[in-house]
Amino acid sequence: MPSGKLDYGAKAEISATHLTIEGHPVMESWETPYMHALADKVGHLGGHLLEVGFGMQISATQIQSHPAVTKHSIIEINKDVFDTMMEFKKTYPTVNGLLGPW
């Protein structure tokens, strides 16, 4: 990025099995058990949680399964992934989406 500006609009491909951004692998469904285990570690604590990156919504969905979570802020840098997160937010109103770098 010669201009020094971040490209929030890099093309993302999101499916049930993978997330790629401009052809580069970012996340895959085989990571689900690990991501769920990590989400359970913090989700049971409840309160306001901060997550960096929405990805395939694997950990976000698991975090939302914990009733003690009162607010869940997620920072996402990619506009395509962020748009998917905004659809997710319609089902989970405790989610607060933030577009930009962490």
What pLDDT shows up at residue 99? Answer: 96
pLDDT 10s digits, 16-65: 999 999 999 999 999 999 999 999 999 999 999 999 999 999 999 999 99
Task: For residues 55-81, give the mean pLDDT.
Answer: 97
Question: d(Cα 12, Cα 64) in Å, to the nearest integer?
Answer: 24
Confidence at 9, pLDDT banded by 50, 70, 90: confident
Q: How many domains does the chain have?
A: 1
CATH code of the domain in which 78 resides? 3.40.50.150
Long-range contacts, stretch 23-27, CB < 8 angstroms, 24+ apart: 26/55, 27/55, 27/56, 27/58
State pTM to two decimals: 0.89
Coil/strand/helix, residue 49: strand
Confidence at 1, pLDDT banded by 50, 70, 90: very low
Percent of the chain clearing pLDDT 70 (strictly above) = 94
Question: d(Cα 4, Cα 39) in Å, to the nearest integer?
Answer: 34
Establish if 5 belongs to a structural domain.
no
Establish if 7 belongs to a structural domain.
no
Query: Residue 31 sits in which domain range?
Result: 12-99
Which residues are CB-neighbours of 38 under 8 A, at least 6 positions away? 59
Establish if 21 belongs to a structural domain.
yes
Establish if 2 belongs to a structural domain.
no
